[in-house]
């Protein structure tokens, strides 16, 4: 049997086991809810037309021209005020004109009645501040958690095979490369499927929630690029996760042996969260392979990235991924059969025991 065929058998088992795994099911459901919440909730909260009671017909006609106002024409100012007091309407316009509301200043009603100076926008792409904050956060969050969860599962699955000692039977049956490739491929596929599902749900959710057309126009390429960056970004670390999994021979050792890889996922997450507003920092982050999966899509969303930039960044990531795959594979092979305690990176790097 070829290494490729063996890797496929290994991958099929990993996928079958994970699809029955509660962690996997839970994280998928959680992220889907998260995606729906991020896209739909803001629209729901801001949405819902303001109801306004009016007695004067001319004012009513003027207010009715506003899409987001629901106008109720009443007999008198007193009746209008009573409706506000009863909570049946959000606001009332009485003669004066005077706007009445309970506790919140009804800004949209006031705006509708005011004369506003013309506005000329110089940077039409500028994004709603709420979205400008939530989109990088959501990208960083999804990348961090998915990459971390699935990466950790690669490591755990390797450690489990070491701890239960089945690894020796496996290594005697198929090349270690096939074991590694099968695991990495299976978990990458699952992580990618999860992220792609979230991306699709987000886009559909955004459309259904009636998100602004301009925002959708920005969101689509952002999410498209994010999925591509996620894929390379995950594969980049996958073999390292397997390597640190093999360094530990018990689950208890995994936390300390996987520390360096955990950092490689965690530090960029916080960096992008804290420096999201800083253009220069984000420009730098978008080329560092570990932070690029979050930083570059954010810049694309903000309209700051030139067309060629994501390609260059992806290229850098691909090269890094190739190098780290080799490192991870070597550490994995060097420590897989050392079942006595924790193996050091140096020992694993030096020893290539298997045929």
Partner 1 sequence: MSRTHSRADFPSVEGMLNVESVSRSFGDRAVLRDVTFPVGSGKLTGFVGANGAGKTTTMRIILGVLAADSGEVTLEGRPLTREIRQRFGYMPEERGLYPKMTVHDQVVYLGRLHGLSSSAAEDRTTKLLERLGLGERAGEKLEKLSLGNQQRAQVAAALVHDPEVLVLDEPFSGLDPIAVETMVDVLRDRASSGVPVLFSSHQLELVERLCDDLVIIADGSIRAAGDRNALRAQHALPRYQLVVDTDAGWLRDQPGVTLLDLEGPRAVFDLDPGSDDQKVLLAALERGPVRSFGPVVPSLTEIFREVVR
Among 60, 170, 312, 327, binds partner 1 (CB under 8 A): 170
SS3 275: coil
Q: How far is the CB of 248 from partner 1 (least distance, A)?
A: 16
Which residues are paired to 72 by β-bridges?
53
Q: d(Cα 327, Cα 244) in Å, to the nearest integer?
A: 11
Strand 50-54, strand 69-73: pairing: parallel
Q: What angle do CA 342, 348, 349 make, to 5 degrees?
A: 150
Q: How far is the CB of 168 from partner 1 (least distance, A)?
A: 4
Single out the segment in contact with partner 1 by CB under 8 A; choices: 64-72, 164-172, 231-239, 276-284: 164-172
Q: How far is the CB of 21 from partner 1 (least distance, A)?
A: 9
Site for partner 1 in 72-101 (CB under 8 A): none
Of the two residues 17 and 25, which places its CB atom closer to partner 1 in the complex? 17
Single out the segment in contact with partner 1 by CB under 8 A; choices: 31-39, 99-107, 158-166, 249-257: 158-166
Of the two residues 56 and 333, which places its CB atom closer to partner 1 in the complex? 333
Q: Is the dihedral of CA 354, 339, 251, 26 positive or negative?
A: positive
Cα 174–chain centre separation: 36
Site string for partner 1, 280-319 (x = CB under 8 A): ----------------------------------------
Q: Is 271 exposed, middle or buried (0-12, 13-18, 19+ CB in 10 A)?
A: buried
165 touches partner 1 by CB under 8 A: yes
Residues 6+ apart with CB under 8 A from 351: 334, 335, 338
Single out the segment in contact with partner 1 by CB under 8 A; choices: 51-59, 70-78, 217-225, 347-355: 347-355
Q: d(Cα 166, Cα 336) in Å, to the nearest integer?
A: 11
User: How many amino acids of this chain bind partner 1 (CB under 8 A)?
Assistant: 25
23 touches partner 1 by CB under 8 A: no
Among 42, 175, 251, 303, binds partner 1 (CB under 8 A): 175
Q: d(Cα 144, Cα 164) in Å, to the nearest integer?
A: 30
13 touches partner 1 by CB under 8 A: yes
Single out the segment in contact with partner 1 by CB under 8 A; choices: 129-137, 142-150, 165-173, 282-290: 165-173
The full DSSP string for 36-61 is HHHHHHHHHHH-SPEEEEE--HHHHH
Place of tokens 């559909």: 204
Q: Is 243 exposed, middle or buried (0-12, 13-18, 19+ CB in 10 A)?
A: buried
Residue 39: which of 128, 126, 125, 131 has the closest Cα?
131
Site string for partner 1, 326-345 (x = CB under 8 A): -----------x-x------
Among 171, 218, 261, 325, binds partner 1 (CB under 8 A): 171
Of the two residues 29 and 169, which places its CB atom closer to partner 1 in the complex? 169
Q: How far is the CB of 286 from partner 1 (least distance, A)?
A: 41
Q: How far is the CB of 27 from partner 1 (least distance, A)?
A: 19
174 touches partner 1 by CB under 8 A: yes
Q: d(Cα 85, Cα 88) in Å, to the nearest integer?
A: 8
Site residues (vs partner 1, CB under 8 A): 1, 6, 9-10, 13, 17, 160-161, 164-175, 337, 339, 353-355
């Amino acid at each position: 049997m070829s290494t490729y065929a063996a890797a496929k058998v290994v991958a099929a088992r990993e996928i079958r086991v994970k699809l029955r795994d509660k962690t996997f099911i839970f994280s998928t459901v959680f992220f889907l809810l998260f995606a729906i919440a991020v896209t739909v909730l803001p629209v729901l909260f801001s949405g819902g037309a303001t109801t306004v009671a009016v007695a004067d017909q001319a004012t009513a006609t003027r207010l009715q021209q506003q899409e987001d106002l629901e106008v109720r024409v009443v007999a008198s100012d007193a009746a209008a005020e009573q409706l506000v007091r009863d909570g049946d309407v959000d606001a009332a316009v009485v003669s004066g004109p005077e706007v009445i509301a309970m506790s919140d200043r009804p800004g949209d009603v006031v705006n509708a009645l005011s004369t506003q100076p013309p506005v000329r926008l110089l940077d039409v792409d500028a994004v709603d501040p709420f979205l400008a904050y939530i989109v990088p956060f959501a990208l960083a969050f999804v990348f961090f958690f998915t990459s971390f969860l699935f990466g950790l599962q690669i490591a755990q699955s390797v450690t489990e095979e070491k701890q239960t000692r089945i690894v020796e039977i496996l290594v005697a049956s198929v090349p270690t490369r096939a074991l590694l490739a099968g695991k990495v491929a299976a978990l990458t596929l699952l992580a990618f499927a999860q992220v792609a599902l979230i991306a699709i749900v987000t886009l559909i959710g955004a459309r259904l929630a009636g998100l602004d057309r301009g925002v959708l126009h920005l969101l689509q390429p952002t999410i498209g690029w994010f999925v591509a960056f996620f894929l390379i970004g995950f594969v980049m670390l996958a073999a390292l996760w397997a390597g640190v999994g093999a360094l530990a021979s018990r689950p208890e050792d995994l936390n300390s042996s996987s520390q360096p890889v955990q950092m490689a996922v965690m530090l960029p997450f916080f960096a992008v969260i804290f420096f999201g507003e800083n253009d220069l920092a984000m420009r730098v982050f978008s080329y560092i392979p570990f932070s690029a999966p979050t930083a570059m899509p954010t810049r694309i969303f903000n309209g700051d990235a030139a067309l060629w930039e994501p390609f260059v960044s992806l290229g850098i990531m691909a090269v890094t991924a190739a190098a780290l795959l080799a490192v991870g594979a070597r550490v994995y092979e060097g420590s897989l059969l050392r079942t006595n305690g924790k193996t050091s990176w140096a020992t694993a790097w030096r020893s290539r025991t298997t045929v």
